[in-house]
Amino acid sequence: MRLHAPAAAAAASTAPVVLVEVPAQDVAGVARLLHGKLGHCGGFMFHADQASAQRSLAQAVAAPLPGLVPPAYGIANRARVTPLLARMEAKQIARTIAGLAAFPDRFYNTAHGARASEWLRQGWAAVGEGHGKVLVETFAHAGYPQASVIATIAGSDLADEVVVLGAHLDSINTHAMEEQGALQAPGADDDASGVAGLTEVLRALSESKYRPRRTIKLIAYAAEEVGLRGSQDLARAFRQAGVRVVGVLQLDMINYKGSDEDIYLLRDYSNAEQNDFIKKLITTYLPGIRVGSDDCGYACSDHASWHAEGYPASMPFESSLAQANPYMHSKNDTFANSGGQAVHALKFARLAAAFAIELGSSKP
């Protein structure tokens, strides 16, 4: 296998990218090195062969799908969005965070990671039952047992266009040398919080029996921490099938408020026009929420996989990158160390719901 990653620790968006070949069994070690030494979440993109890696180096972003018309980034569904957001609850998000963080780890190649995927599939299926039109399924990946989980609400007259909300299911502990015994990786913030936010969106959409014009897919990705592997598989599969994805929103770490502003939009590996739309959503539906911006400088989460395939993607983050959760990637990434509540995460869940409904219902 091959991977590429920024060569510098404090990588700016213009940092050099290098292509390195390592044995497949060393992927986990590379992930821990990049996480632990450089502070990179993800830190690299996995490539199964040299040809795909070379294509990625030569052209970071694929051309948009022919004929795909960007959506109208307008605010036209206040009567539907506002009451739905009012029904969303921090305690529901907290419950899901606790359930995921109870697994000893959710690493992509462990039995715990696979069980967490099945636990979530069952949970999402139960949440979606009241809607009557929610399909929950898993997406299997080659080479490791953890599956991605997908909940689909089929659209009506624009069903062939898709809105994607994502978060990653796996967790990692990068302190292999510092901590004794089994490596606990509760990943309460990184990224049980994002998955829990999606779960609350699904609950709200299901209880309201919302039927979108466009198809909405909520996806919990496997194997983000080892090269964005799960989301790359899915984004490439969608691209190869010609799926018309009109917007992607990633929730990765949403429950630790480390900065003055509430929501930080990442400028790199994202779509500027869609980011402006998200700012409009915040102004309209989350009054009083303060918005900042920052750059990862590398492909730091699953939105980058969709961006690379030519789809518009955005990632709102819990803080500035410099003030992110200091407990991430350790046994101390617990719910208690995020304050023991999910009030901050609720802001992001409400934003994701507004994003889904406005894009899901808007005109082409």
The three-state secondary structure class of 33 is helix
**What are phi and psi for residue 281, nearest 5 degrees?**
-60, -45
User: Does the annotation mark 47 as catalytic?
Assistant: no
Q: Which of 252, 262, 294, 309 is catalytic?
A: 252
Of the residues 131, 168, 303, 344, only one is catalytic, namely 168
d(CA 31, CA 41): 9
Q: Is 261 a catalytic residue?
A: no
H helix count then E strand count, the chain:
10, 12
Side by side, the strands of the sheet bearing 263-266 are 291-294, 263-266, 316-317
How does DSSP classify residue 24? G
State the catalytic residue, choosing from 170, 189, 224, 309.
Answer: 224
Q: Would residue 189 show up in a list of annotated catalytic residues for this protein?
A: no
Q: Which two tokens stand for residue 168?
A: 């990653």
- What are phi and psi for residue 247, nearest 5 degrees? -170, 145
Q: Look at residue 217 and give its three-state secondary structure.
A: strand
Q: Round the CA-based radius of gyration of the chain to a whole number and report it.
A: 19
∠ CA(72), CA(78), CA(80), 5° rounding? 105
Count the Cβ atoms, other than its own, within 10 Å of residue 131.
18
| Three-class secondary structure of residue 243 per DSSP | coil
Using CA atoms, how far residue 270 sits from 100, 169, 186, 309, 333, in Å, is 28, 21, 28, 12, 27
Query: Is-catalytic flag, 225?
Result: yes
> What is the C-alpha to C-alpha distance for residues 361 and 352, in angstroms, rounded to an integer?
14
329: annotated active-site residue? yes
Examine the residue annotation and report whether 137 is marked as an active-site residue of this protein. no
**Token pair in block for residue 56:** 């990625």
- Residue of 170, 225, 318, 358 marked active site: 225
Phi-psi region of 20 (alpha: psi -120 to 50; beta: other; left: phi over 0): beta
Determine which one of 35, 329, 333, 358 is catalytic: 329
Q: Catalytic: which of 190, 200, 318, 358?
A: 190
- Pairing, β 214-221 against β 244-250: unpaired
Of all helices (H) and strands (E), which one includes residue 214?
strand 214-221
CA distance 86 to 294: 29
**Spatial distance between the Cα atoms of 193 and 252, rounded to a whole number of angstroms:** 7
Q: Rounded to 5 degrees, what angle do the CA atoms 109, 111, 117 make? A: 85
Active site residues: 168, 190, 224-225, 252, 329
